[in-house]
Chain A
Amino acid sequence: MSEQMIATAIEARRASRHYAMGENQVRAVDDVSFTIPAGEFAALLGPSGSGKSTLLNLLAGLDRLTSGGLSVDGHELGAMDSEALARYRRHTVGMIFQSFNLVPAMTLADNVELPLRFAEAPRAGRSERVMELLHSVGLEKRAQHKPSELSGGEQQRAAIARALVNRPRVLLADEPTGNLDTRNGQEVMTLLSELNANTGVTILMVTHDPALASRYARQQLHMADGRLIPNVEGAR
């Protein structure tokens, strides 16, 4: 059991997320089951509106299941109250967004420090940790800059640093290169695969670009209309 818990980073068991839109019920995620082993670099593919982002938000603990079960690093998300989910977001998962989502009024260092504040990390050693991460993404000289003073690629690298600051077991990336040009996109992807290889962090990346998925991800999940499409190459 514990063997399997460690071996499996993400497990979905008939996970569903439905919501009402006017009279209609939207099945954003519908009866989805899969597992992703620890240390995997997985890609979640599908056209827009297929439910990829909803699934990612569920895994990030930002949204709640309608039915079924989701477990991440041994945490059963359906059983958690909002306080436990907040703790889970702090310590277990890191999230990267297409639009970076840095706080515009804060410097990069402050943005990277933000999760440490919520995690109540000791104040001593915080700035070292922030600088260490900014160094690892090549932004140590930009620490005191505001996000608006940086390129998209730099902003996304800062966002990756922020996602990693509390040493999560799982990194969830929602179209991380969607707003970047090819060169910056490649830089970010290289950074993510290096992280995956060097630190063993499990990565689940949402993308609509099959080429990107084929190039970096060892496991691929395909979604359409809220459901997982079986037997596509790469799905286990």
Chain B
Amino acid sequence: MKRQDLFELAGRNMRNARLRNALTILGIAVGVASLVATCSLGIGLQNFANRQLMRSGMFQTVFVTSRQDVRNMDENAETKPDEQPQITGETRARIAALPGVEEVAPEVRATAEVVYNGQPQFTLLAGLPQSARDEDSVEKVQGRFFSGPNADEVLLQRDFAKKLESDPANVIGKSVTIRYAERQSGEAEGSFSIERHEKAFVIVGLLDEQPFGGMRMISRARVFLPTATAEQMNLMQPADTQQLVRSTPGQKTYSMLTVRMKSAAYAEQVEDAVKKMNFSAYSYLDAARSMRRFFAVLDMFLFLFGSLALVVASLAIVNTLVMAVLERRREIGIMKAVGASDRDVQRLFFAEAATMGLIGGLLGVALGWFIGRAINFGGNVYLSHTMHLPKENLWSVPVWLGLAAVVFAVAVSVLAGLYPAARAARLDPVQSLRYE
């Protein structure tokens, strides 16, 4: 039988048992909808997590530390301490010259006193590199970002600004004095002195969220200034004592450098180059890999649970078609008598199953899309009202998911049609014609 005839006959048969077929199709649609909704949630969550990590700049960042660093202290290490170099200005320049490197910045953190309107507040200060602005690492700045890498400007966390003014927005444009400890080279070799200094800054903006998605050491600081400015201030830092003991006198050393690449593609290469220089390097590529594994497992479970409803729906198809075979027994006999082969009859039932699957699949994708939207809306209401978090797209129906769901629905339906179709094809025409 020609395909067009096949589907014409299938369509006619389905219209003859309209209610039953409509209910079956609805069953498939609900099944597909549940599949699409759960999978789209999985995909949405994965995208969300990816966005968070991208925002944090993690994939484009390699952290370089000296192997002498306390954190890396390993008594069984093969290299002796004196073979483990310090991170110096020269190291910094060499890393900056590596291909793909955009910016090399030290992590500057220090405790300081912020004086606003004569009121001092003791807090944590940190340097924020200029690249943070381009990479979407700092979100939702009220006001603006630093005007330049050496600007005498600061950004405050909104919570901190609340301590200064009842309406935190009022601090923008005001000036603030930062009282800090400056490290100066000592008179004797191998010594330094610490002096108290003050410096005036202009508050240019407020942050609602922690920079880098809250994933860096500096993220928890309350007051941010440009990294270059912070460096010039020679802020006394927690690791300074360690450096004093270990470093060559008179040479500026760093406890850690943050290397930012043009894209995540350079990360592995830069990491290897840094390790060859005999420094420790760490990036989040490994973390990203395990995250992908996690989402693969999560997606698989979501898919399994989502397809449960479709499995139930496929039983409805089996039921509908078995009923149809019983009901249309005589008709099948007639068709065979006027020249239908077993295969024609079988294909006719497959065509009906596939048509139900196709219509159900299309309806289901549409329904799933709406359910997904509803979940997203509800999720966002919860996020913003209960947890005071900004709106996020937790849900995503990519085109491939819609297409795959429809194909899957048709495949499951045809599979469900196997038994009824075989049963119909096997019917003895003589018996069927006698059937009333």
Chain A residues with CB under 8 Å of chain B are 57, 60, 62-63, 82-83, 86-87, 89-91, 95, 97, 101-103, 105-106, 110, 114-115, 117-120, 123, 162-163, 166
Closest 4 A-B residue pairs measured CB to CB?
A: A90-B339, A86-B341, A117-B5, A118-B339
Nearest CB in chain A to that of B333: its residue: A101
Cα of A91 to Cα of B8 in the assembled complex, Å: 22
12 other contacts beyond A101-B330, A103-B335, A123-B4, with CB at 8 A cut-off? A62-B336, A62-B337, A62-B430, A83-B341, A86-B336, A86-B340, A86-B344, A91-B339, A97-B433, A110-B12, A118-B338, A162-B338
Chain A residues within an 8 Å CB radius of B12: 105-106, 110
Which residues of chain A are within 8 angstroms of B429 by Cβ–Cβ distance?
Answer: 62
- Tell me whether A114 and B337 are in contact in the complex, defined as CB-CB below 8 angstroms, given that A62-B430, A97-B433 are known contacts: no
Q: Is the CB of A105 within 8 A of B16?
A: yes
Q: Chain B interface (Cβ within 8 Å of chain A)?
A: 1-2, 4-5, 8-9, 12-13, 16, 330-331, 333-344, 429-430, 433
Quick check: B430 and A118 within 8 Å, CB to CB?
no
CA gap between A90 and B335 in the complex, in Å: 10
Give the chain B neighbours of A95 by CB distance below 8 A: 337-338
Given known contacts A86-B344, A120-B2, is B430 in contact with A115 (CB within 8 Å)? no
CA distance A63 to B337 in the complex (A): 10
Given contacts A83-B343, A86-B342, contact A117 B1 (CB under 8 A): yes
CB pair A117 B2 closer than 8 Å? yes
Please measure, in the bound complex, the distance between the C-alpha atom of A82 and the C-alpha atom of B339, giving whole angstroms.
Answer: 11
Could you tell me if B338 and A114 are in contact, using CB atoms closer than 8 angstroms?
yes
CA distance A97 to B432 in the complex (A): 13
CB proximity of A162 to chain B, nearest CB, Å: 7
Report the minimal beta-carbon distance from B4 to chain A, rounded to whole angstroms. Answer: 7
Q: A60 and B344: CB pair below 8 A?
A: no
From A89, which residue of chain B is reached at the shortest CB distance?
B339
- Please give me the residue from chain B that is nearest to A126 by CB atom: B5
A105, closest chain B residue (CB): B16
In Å, the complex CA distance between A87 and B339 comes to 6
Nearest CB to that of A165 among chain B residues?
B338
* A120–B12 CA distance with the chains assembled, in angstroms: 18
Q: Are A89 and B1 in contact (CB under 8 A)?
A: no
Whole-angstrom distance between the Cβ of A143 and the nearest chain B Cβ: 16
Q: Which residue on chain A has the smallest CB distance to residue B436?
A: A99
How far is A176 from B13 in the complex, measured between Cα atoms in Å?
Answer: 28
Give Cα A162–Cα B334 distance, bound, in whole angstroms: 11
Residues of chain B within 8 A of A87, CB atoms compared: 339, 341
A100 to B430, CA, bound (A): 14
Q: Which residues of A contact B430 (CB under 8 A)?
A: 57, 62-63
When the two chains form their complex, are residues B339 and A86 in contact, meaning their CB atoms are under 8 A apart? Answer: yes
Which B residues are CB-close (under 8 A) to A62? 336-337, 429-430, 433
CA of A117 to CA of B8, assembled, Å = 10
Mind listing 25 A-B residue pairs with CB under 8 Å?
A62-B429, A62-B430, A63-B430, A83-B343, A86-B336, A86-B342, A86-B344, A89-B338, A89-B339, A90-B339, A91-B339, A97-B433, A101-B337, A102-B334, A103-B331, A103-B334, A117-B1, A117-B2, A117-B9, A118-B1, A118-B335, A118-B341, A123-B4, A162-B338, A166-B339
Identify which of A91, A118, A123, A163 contacts B340 (C-beta below 8 A): A118
> Is A118 a contact of B433 with CB atoms below 8 Å?
no
CB of A119 within 8 A of CB of B343, answer no
Within the assembled complex, what's the spacing in Å between the Cα atoms of A90 and B344? 12
- B338 contacts which chain A residues (CB < 8 A)? 89-90, 95, 114-115, 118, 162-163
Residues in A neighbouring B340, C-beta threshold 8 A: 86, 118
Taken together as a complex, chains A and B put the C-alpha atoms of A95 and B342 apart, in Å, by 18
Contact between A120 and B343 (Cβ–Cβ < 8 Å)?
no
Give the residue name and chain of the A residue nearest to B334 (CB).
A101
Closest CB in chain B relative to A127 CB, distance in Å: 13
Cα-based distance from A163 to B334 in the complex (angstroms)? 11
Closest to A95 in B: B337
- CA distance in complex: A67, B318 (Å): 39
Q: Are B331 and A89 closer than 8 Å at their CB atoms? A: no
Tell me which residues across on chain A come within 8 A of B343, comparing CB atoms. 83
CA A82 to CA B336, docked complex, whole Å: 11
